[in-house]
Structure 1
Amino acid sequence: MQRQPLAPRSWVLHGVQEKRRNTSPSLTPPQPSPQSTMKMHFSIPVSQQRLDTLGGRYVLYSVYLEGFLFCKVRYSQLHRWNEQLKRVFGNNLPPFPPKYYLAMTTSMADERRDQLEQYLQNVPMDQNILRSEVFIRFLKLLQQDTFKITTKKVSLDVFLPDGRSIRIEILTSDTAERVLEIVSYKMGLSRELIGYFSLFLIQFQSDNVLSVMKKMAEFELPYVSLQSTEVENCKVGLRKWYMDPSLDSMLMDCQTAINLLYEQAVQEIEKKWAKPTEEQRQELEALRKAGNQTKFLELAQKVQHYGYMQLDSCACDYPEPGCVATLAVGNNEISCYFKLPSNQTQEVNFKMSRIKSWQVTFLGTLLEEEESPQQTLNQNLELRFQYSEGNNSWQWFTIYSKQAFLLSSCLKKMITEKMMKLAAENPEMQIEVPLEQGKRKKSYHQQSQTNSFDFPLRKGKISFKSTEEDCVFETIREEDL
């Protein structure tokens, strides 16, 4: 087994601007455009030279998604895929690295790897491409081929927040989107509410400790990811996927959704992720014994850190280097509980309205067995964010965590929810997405007085009620699956 140092690789996320138009308000809030999706956390930290059956050499790229090995692919495969995408979507694609007809130097090989990485990050930003059969089918086949998993019927256990699991019958080639639909059908969750939930990879540790490792992408194959992960005691779990606790109100017309929210709220309190006061704890316990889930959830929304994503303990460089921190992310803030080297403690809340940008950087080393389809990466990840205390000066803060990509996903989710709320409240607001760094027409960052954030919208799965009347949700039919 060899240990190979890897060059640092970063994923920088920048902002959007808010601009007022002198037009009359529209009757409905603007919808996010297909091009306003943020980059996905695709990365190619390593590549390998291999021999083909004729003795020729080729390069095999290890593609990671959210810090986990997703697939391995050759340049020729990606080139053919790009040609297929061009036939369907024309030339509105990010640039694809050109062919080299002579032997590549080391610098040329590194440049191609960087270009392929950028290509994979940029292609899914167009929702039309992301949802297309040509996009999904290619990535499905790559996942299966990388880990030698053929298409067949299997049973999959999906774990709920209360510890129970639901066993469903799926195909190994079913995407996370489809698996979520099957789970929702079996549980009786209304179709309109599926977008409020997601599938996650969750590690169940000793002493009833669990750790959320990553959110699954809709085109990801849960069965394959579960079989290929090197994380011990890893399961597929169903959890709500929004960071604004007030969105609970959108789910109150569906009893299945109420049950899921209630189970997760109880879990958060039992594991001390949410921190009720003693008075709140007593009232919550009384409501729990009375079986009043709705009132329980209404009170839970007032509890500190309710609905936050709890991360494992990690290291950071603030307030001083070498500090240990516990992070909880939600409700437009990063809440950090620091333990200083002097054993003193300090709690700091970083507000999203004061974050200008952030980046995730991979600083790891590679442990590789030559014949293994997998490569073990030391998860030396860091997330750096630029923060202002309000005096127009910006400071970088660094968090070292194996859950850096999950943290980044949570930050993006909070941006999305805030921007959609602003769009609903201000129909005349126009969101402008700037060009990539180094390509923008002008460098411009602005703190909006309405606390908007520097990031583009994700596709609009969250809907808004237009009246106070009870909604009648459409249930998922078996023939739709």
Structure 2
Amino acid sequence: MHFSIPDTQESKDENGTTYTCFNVHINGVFHCSVRYRQFHHFHEQLKKEFGSSILPPFPPKKLLALNSSQLEERRVMLERYIQIISQDATVCSSDTFNGFLLNAQQETAQEDPEAVSLDVFLMNGHKISVNILSTDQTEDVLENVASHIELADDFVYYFGLYLVKKEDGGDNSIVRKLQEFESPYISLRAANKEDSHRIVLRKSYWDPAFDDDLLEDRIAMNLLYVQAVSDIERQWTFATKDQLKQLTALQVKGSKREYLRFARTLKYYGFIQFRPCLTDYPEHNSRLLLSAGNKELNFRIQISSDQVKEGSFRITRMRCWRITTAGPENGDSDKRQSNSLSKLEIAFEYLVAKDTLKWITVQSDQAILISMCLQSMVDELIMKKQGKRIKRPQDRVKGSKYSYLKKNASSHQTDSSKQSVSGESDDHSAITKAVDSMKKISDKLSNVSMKRGANETGITENDAFEGIGDDDL
């Protein structure tokens, strides 16, 4: 995850007293605004739960009001603090950590729990409506959707909820995967203030071998089928004319399982494709079509109007990667807040030969999404090497209580065993209709600072990095 606190804002309490809030951005998107004392209360809770030895220094309290330079120093220290604790897998998976961010989002959005209907879409546009609480977090909503379509518990977390933007050309581009510490309802409402977005259910793993776990389950297989058809139609997965004829024949026969097995043999199956961007490889300002999947980044570089050069970069050969952004100077807060992500760059250090590392840079407004894809591919690779499996709903720890300090200093007690509003179960018709309509890598991980303004760089180290041996040369 990419945490930053790029700026602050002044607010007033019910008595008219002015106070400062720190604007927290996660994965390049504004998430919440938090007072210093809320951060301090959060820090004290973490100390009780995990001890002070694993926590970084916390910016000290001050008796007098802060001047501008002291406020900036506090902002930087708080930013560094949350970046460091988010590197600890135990801390960032705890109810205290996720509960703090979830409640802060709810308070910032001024959202009280209420029963609402949320539309979740499949990749072919089919809509599944579920009844939830407006403040339900992502995993509660995902489990609600899975229950609604009667997806087996073993396969729930093979899928994820993604925020998707409707482009001018009618296509949909993935913005990001929704995280546990946010409310999909609030996040969708915030995103739709600027553009047309929707929440989409799609598989959340990278290794095609995981398909084998799902092919014998009708509901899970149908979800895979819907996505495979969509990815082929939008040319994220490449098929020749002859291959398309074979796929069409399988569709006509209703042979979904055979369709999926054949689709798995196609180029870029299971890849996410990003919007056209630029790279400095092999030369500056090369036009690039970038996609991620199968433990690699795939480059298709436009050499000329009729010539494309293709190459792949394996994640196990990436020693690290970083994100940089250029924008207005720190003092220009208004410009910082309105600055777009078009100047974002992601660069990775690649082992091109034995003892030879080379930085390769991509300029893309989807740099954070690219980074998150790299990280999740590494997470999955590490998980498989450790012999672990994709979690199930019963693996979630529920029932713990934690305290959230509001901006007005009142305390809010939250119970993680809270259940969502249940929707009526109507068998598996949602999936049937859709078909017919056709890290936590390790403690060494560094999170990227997304401070807008000055050029800021963060490095993500890759524990799946492997050296090149003599046999590879």
User: TM-score surpassing 0.5?
Assistant: yes
- Partner residue of 2:75 out of 94, 99, 113: 113
Q: Structure 1: give runs of 5+ residues left out of the alignment.
A: 1-39, 426-430, 438-443, 451-481
Give the whole-Å Cα distance in 2 for the aligned partners of 1:288 and 1:174.
Answer: 38
Which range moves more in the overlay, 338-347 or 232-241? 338-347
For 1:137, the equivalent position in structure 2 comes to 99
Q: Structure 2: give runs of 5+ residues left out of the alignment.
A: 389-440, 448-462
The higher-RCO structure (CA 8 Å, 6+ apart) is 1
Query: Are the structure 2 counterparts of residues 149 and 377 from structure 1 closer, same or farther at C-alpha, using a change threshold of 3 Å?
Result: farther
For 2:60, the equivalent position in structure 1 comes to 98
For 1:204, the equivalent position in structure 2 comes to 166
Q: Work out the percentage of aligned pairs sharing the same amino acid.
A: 37
Pair 1:224-2:186 in alignment: yes
- Partner residue of 2:38 out of 45, 64, 77: 77
Which range moves more in the overlay, 261-270 or 276-285? 276-285
- Partner residue of 2:225 out of 262, 276, 281: 262
For 1:447, the equivalent position in structure 2 comes to 466
2:239 counterpart SS class: coil
For 2:322, the equivalent position in structure 1 comes to 359
- Partner residue of 1:273 out of 236, 249, 264: 236
Query: Are the structure 2 counterparts of residues 364 and 181 from structure 1 closer, same or farther at C-alpha, using a change threshold of 3 Å?
Result: farther
Query: Are the structure 2 counterparts of residues 131 and 320 from structure 1 closer, same or farther at C-alpha, using a change threshold of 3 Å?
Result: closer
- Partner residue of 1:193 out of 139, 146, 155: 155
Give the Å deviation of 1:105: 5.3
Does the 8 Å CA contact 1:161/1:260 hold for their aligned counterparts? no
Give the Å deviation of 1:112: 2.4
Paired letter, 2:466 = Q
Give the Å deviation of 1:417: 2.1
Paired letter, 1:300 = A
Q: Could you list the per-position Cα deviations for residues 396-450 of structure 1 after superposition, in whole angstroms to 9, with x for gaps in the alignment? A: 111122211111111112112222333339xxxxx9754869xxxxxx9973469
Paired letter, 2:40 = H
Which range moves more in the overlay, 101-110 or 407-416? 101-110
Paired letter, 2:382 = M
1:195 counterpart SS class: helix
Q: Could you list the per-position Cα deviations for residues 206-245 of structure 1 after superposition, in whole angstroms to 9, with x for gaps in the alignment? A: 4431100011111211011111125411111111011112
Which range moves more in the overlay, 80-89 or 326-335? 80-89
Pair 1:323-2:342 in alignment: no
- Partner residue of 1:422 out of 368, 385, 389: 385
Paired letter, 1:214 = R
Give the whole-Å Cα distance in 1 for the aligned partners of 2:120 and 2:220.
Answer: 16
Give the Å deviation of 1:136: 3.1
Which range moves more in the overlay, 243-252 or 133-142? 133-142
For 1:152, the equivalent position in structure 2 comes to 114
Does the 8 Å CA contact 1:246/1:301 hold for their aligned counterparts? no
For 1:241, the equivalent position in structure 2 comes to 204
Aligned residues: 397
Give the whole-Å Cα distance in 2 for the aligned partners of 1:186 and 1:216.
Answer: 19
Pair 1:174-2:136 in alignment: yes
- Partner residue of 1:67 out of 28, 33, 47: 28
Query: Are the structure 2 counterparts of residues 231 and 335 from structure 1 closer, same or farther at C-alpha, using a change threshold of 3 Å?
Result: farther
Pair 1:44-2:5 in alignment: yes
Paired letter, 2:78 = L
- Partner residue of 2:47 out of 61, 82, 86: 86
Query: Are the structure 2 counterparts of residues 132 and 332 from structure 1 closer, same or farther at C-alpha, using a change threshold of 3 Å?
Result: closer
Paired letter, 1:422 = K
Paired letter, 2:310 = E
Give the whole-Å Cα distance in 1 for the aligned partners of 2:282 and 2:159.
Answer: 35
Give the Å deviation of 1:316: 2.0
Give the whole-Å Cα distance in 2 for the aligned partners of 1:343 and 1:49.
Answer: 54
Query: Are the structure 2 counterparts of residues 220 and 435 from structure 1 closer, same or farther at C-alpha, using a change threshold of 3 Å?
Result: closer
RMSD: 2.9
Give the Å deviation of 1:127: 4.6
Give the Å deviation of 1:201: 0.5
Q: Could you list the per-position Cα deviations for residues 367-407 of structure 1 after superposition, in whole angstroms to 9, with x for gaps in the alignment? A: 9779xxx9444113211111121142211111122211111
Query: Are the structure 2 counterparts of residues 407 and 140 from structure 1 closer, same or farther at C-alpha, using a change threshold of 3 Å?
Result: same
Query: Are the structure 2 counterparts of residues 433 and 154 from structure 1 closer, same or farther at C-alpha, using a change threshold of 3 Å?
Result: closer
Query: Are the structure 2 counterparts of residues 435 and 336 from structure 1 closer, same or farther at C-alpha, using a change threshold of 3 Å?
Result: closer
Paired letter, 1:307 = G
Query: Are the structure 2 counterparts of residues 341 and 363 from structure 1 closer, same or farther at C-alpha, using a change threshold of 3 Å?
Result: farther
Paired letter, 1:94 = P
1:272 counterpart SS class: coil
Give the whole-Å Cα distance in 1 for the aligned partners of 2:381 and 2:46.
Answer: 33
Give the Å deviation of 1:51: 5.6
TM-score (norm 1): 0.75
For 1:382, the equivalent position in structure 2 comes to 345
Does the 8 Å CA contact 1:364/1:381 hold for their aligned counterparts? no
Paired letter, 2:98 = I
TM-score (norm 2): 0.77
